[in-house]
Structures are given as structure tokens and as C-alpha cells.
A and B are shown apart, each in its own frame.
Chain A
């Protein structure tokens, strides 16, 4: 007779599993006050997440083994008709490769998030694999979104560069422990999938997500390009106009 033949036994068994389980999480860096942390999650290969992050959240994505690939899509929380526009994200800053100060722009001329720190090995051009796209669709469905709400995405930690003739060249992963930091300018729904890159089919490893509240970071200018400053102006104007509204216009 097994212990799970009775409801009491099944309940005790179920509770014992959680009590003894070890949950893999990213380690908290010593320079971050643990009280400010709002998210600490390790996503295994093939996994995904759908997370709402407030304005002024500092998000750190990590590649702890030098093997992950993070496919990202952002929408305005509560106003998902506004979403990441990858074409504007490369066209407006005149730059295809993500690095410090790069805005992730919405289709409404606003900054959803700014890249604070990123070293190479990212891609705005190739989009998701079939697996990653499916995971992004699942993540979106959890937020009440349909596949048509999920537009072109960006990939972190596995990059691609463009040759003079337009040919795409995969760059593989960056170093073990590579991170990408973002500051969130408007409340966002973050959809993220851990899956291979279309030009680099190697299986992925763990992906870390760590986020903490850092509203003062919005007061620091990360980029003084006129295009960027106007995007911040648009963002602040929309935020100020809708400040006491449940849903931002």
C-alpha cells in the first residue's frame, strides 16, 4: 500500500515535495539591497516567463553558463496595443546592435526600456526559432494575448552580425556570466523564452532573471542622442498625462 492511496497521504506527499525541493535562483549580487528585489528566477532550457514589471524596475538578464539565448518581447502592461517595434528600435538610433544606452522603442515613439549594460552577442534581426516563438505565444496567452499580438522579437546572448553584402553571421554566446541590464520606463509585460537562435541551433542552458526596484535610475540620462531624448520626452509626457489613470493612453 502506498502512502498516496488516501487523501491525507496524497496531501502529505504533495506538501513534502515542496518542502524538500531546491529552487535554482540567480544569486543576488552584493551591491543590490535584497529588500528591493522583485524578481529572481532561473529559467531552464525550453522554459519561458511572462512577467509584469513596473516603471523604474532594473532588470538583469544573465547567462550563467555562457550557453543561453533569451528571446524577448515587450508590451505596455494594461495597454498591449502598444508594443515593442524592432524596426524602430534599430532605425531610430541608427544602430542594429544593442549596447549601452540603446532604447527598446514601442510603436508609439516611446521608450519601454533602455539597455544599461550589454556586451555584444545580441540580435535584433533574426527573430525567434520555431520553439521560441511557440513559447512566446504561450507566455502571451497567459496574459490574455493572441499570437497576432506578438510581433518581431529580439534575442540576447546569441548574436548575429551583418557582412557588407548583407549576409548574416552568427556570433555564438558571450562569456560565462554575461549579463544584460535594462531600466524599465513604462509598466511592461515582459515575455521571454529560453531557446536556441535561428542561426545557432545548439541547445541552450539556464537563463537568469533578476529585477529590483530602482526608480531613481530613471533620472539618469543614458544617451544624449536627440532621437533618444525625444523618445524620453514622449514617454514622460504620456506617463504624466495618465498618472492617476488605471490604464495609460
Chain B
């Protein structure tokens, strides 16, 4: 991998706690997602920038690599098998793509009806999607960078304490021009953020 110091920075932005973010990362460019304060889940959806119907598939990705965890070497595929991005460096070693995004609706089931109007990732995804001409129909199971979701022998699964730490990062290389939607997860009811959402930094280099 080429390090950021020898590459040209295309954009370098801090996503505030709980906020959405989106960008088109061009083929060959790299996106570094930096967990500035540690233990911050970063929900992420990917689309071919040229054809939004060719979108990230968590199921195709994990079936192809025969493993539920994303880490260095994972190729992030669309339903049709198009490689969108590849994880080229990972300082954490285990990222989730089976647990999806929090929503106001699922929060009512997971934590109780008192959470109905708390800000959630689906609201962020919709906000970012609408700016790009996408809508609810285009949202599918996503990636959760820095989120730890083990599956036990009996199938029990859950979001547990993260493995990340302040400053840890994951680096993605775009294989084609890729639209990246991000929700810097606002969830405060589980340990994916240590119950305290914090900012993350997004650096695109070429």
C-alpha cells in the first residue's frame, strides 16, 4: 500500500458526531476512515457512481469471501458481483456487515418506544441519499466500520464493545468510481459508540 504521505490529498473532512456524509471516490483513489476518538461505529453504503442500481451487497460480499467479518483484503461487492472497493489496510481487524443500520423504527423494538424520536442512522442515510437522487428503496444492508458483531455457536449475535481505539483507521481503495454514503452513527443505546457518539475523519487521496 502507498502511504498517505506520498499521495495527494483530494479531501480531508471531519464528520461531526451523529452526522451524515457522502462523496464520490474515483477509481484508484483511497478513502481513509479514521476513528478519531475510538469506538465509533461508521455506517457505510456504497454504489457504483455510474449506476446507482449496482449497489453494495453485504450478502454477496460475505458469501464470496466466506466470512462475515470485513478486514484487509475484503473486496466489497455489488449484488451483481462488481468490485466497488477493496480494504487495503485495517488497524482494527474486524468490521461488521450483517447487523445493518439503526433506525427509529428498529430502536422501538431494541430499546423501547421511548427511543422512537432519537436520531438514527437511517435518517442520516436518507438525508445523504436524497441529496444524490436516491431514496428509501435504494437502502440495503450496510457496512459498520469499527463495529464488533460476533456470532456465537448457537447463532446468538449482538453488538458488543468495539476493538477500535483513538486514531485507528481503515483504508479503502476504489476499484470503480464509487458513491459512498456514511452515517456517523448516533446510536446511544449500545456499545458501538461507547454510548457517546464522536467525530470521525474522512481522507481521500490519490
A residues adjacent to B (C-beta < 8 A):
81, 85-88, 90-92, 94-97, 105, 107-110, 125-128, 130, 133, 146-149, 151-153, 161-162, 164-168, 198-199, 227, 230-231, 234
Rounded to whole Å, the gap between the CB of A113 and the closest CB of chain B is 15
Task: Given A152-B140, A167-B66, check contact A95 B105 (CB 8 Å).
Answer: no
Contacting pair A94 B158 (CB below 8 A): yes
CB < 8 Å A-B pair total: 130
B98 CB within 8 Å of chain A: yes
- Chain B residue with Cβ nearest A147: B53
Chain A residues, CB < 8 A from B113: 230
**Pair A198/B63 contact, Cβ less than 8 Å:** yes
A105–B109 CB distance below 8 A: yes
Selecting from B149-157, B161-169, B175-183, the interface stretch reads B149-157
On whether A90 and B81 interact (CB within 8 A), knowing A97-B155, A162-B151, A234-B109, the answer reads no
Q: 9 closest A-B pairs (Cβ-Cβ)?
A: A87-B100, A127-B59, A109-B105, A97-B155, A198-B63, A166-B69, A162-B151, A126-B63, A96-B155
**A151 lies within 8 A of B157 (CB):** no
Measured CA separation A10–B30 after assembly (Å):
65
A-B residue pairs in contact (CB < 8 Å), sample of 8: A88-B100, A91-B98, A95-B155, A96-B151, A127-B63, A148-B55, A198-B59, A230-B113
A227 and B110 in contact, given A96-B151, A199-B63 (Cβ under 8 angstroms): yes
User: How far is B135's CA from A149's CA once the two chains are assembled, in angstroms?
Assistant: 11
A234 — which chain B residues lie within 8 A by C-beta? 105, 108-109
With an 8 A cutoff between CB atoms, is B79 at the interface?
A: yes
Shortest A242–chain B CB gap in Å is 16
Which residues on B sit within 8 Å (CB–CB) of A127? 57-60, 63, 79
B12: Cβ under 8 A from any A Cβ: no
Complex interface residues of chain B between 129 and 151 (CB less than 8 A to chain A)? 136-142, 151
Closest to A228 in B: B109
CB distance from A34 to the nearest CB of B (A): 37
Tell me the nearest residue of chain A to B105, going by C-beta. Answer: A109
**Residue of chain A at shortest CB distance from B52:** A148
Question: B92 within 8 Å of A by Cβ?
Answer: no
Decide if B59 touches A92 in the complex (CB within 8 Å).
no
Nearest A residue to B113 via CB reads: A230
CA distance A44 to B140 in the complex (A): 29
Inter-chain CA distance A147–B138, complex, in Å, is 10
If A85-B106, A168-B63 are given as contacts, then 14 extra A-B residue pairs at C-beta distance below 8 Å, sorted by A number, are: A86-B141, A88-B109, A91-B158, A95-B155, A96-B157, A105-B106, A105-B109, A107-B139, A127-B58, A130-B80, A146-B137, A166-B151, A227-B109, A227-B110
Residues of chain B within 8 A (CB-CB) of A126 are 59, 62-63
Which of B53, B63, B68 meets A166, CB within 8 Å?
Answer: B68
Whether A95 pairs with B157 at a CB distance below 8 angstroms is yes
Q: How far is the CA of A164 from the CA of B106 in the complex (A)?
A: 27
B198 interface residue per 8 A CB criterion: no
Question: What separation, in Å, do the CA atoms of A127 and B140 have in the docked complex?
Answer: 12
Q: Assuming the A-B contacts A151-B140, A152-B141, are A88 and B106 also in contact, with contact meaning beta carbons closer than 8 angstroms in the complex? A: yes
Contact (A90, B62) CB under 8 Å given A133-B79, A148-B138, A227-B109:
no
- In angstroms, Cα B57 to Cα A85, docked, is 13
B108: which of A95, A107, A109, A162 is its contact (CB, 8 Å)? A109
Chain B nearest Cβ from A136, distance in angstroms: 10
Q: What separation, in Å, do the CA atoms of A166 and B157 have in the docked complex?
A: 12
Decide if A91 touches B138 in the complex (CB within 8 Å): no
- Given contact pairs A125-B62, A130-B81, A133-B79, A87 touches B99 in the complex (Cβ within 8 A): yes
The distance in angstroms between the C-alpha atoms of A231 and B142, with both chains bound, is 22
Residue of A with least CB distance to B57: A127
State in angstroms the CA–CA spacing of A107 and B108 once bound together. 12
What residue of chain A has the Cβ atom nearest to residue B99's Cβ?
A91
Contacts of B154 in A (CB 8 A): 97
Q: How far is the CB of B75 from chain A (nearest CB, A)?
A: 15
Is there an interface contact between B105 and A108, defined as CB atoms closer than 8 Å? Answer: yes
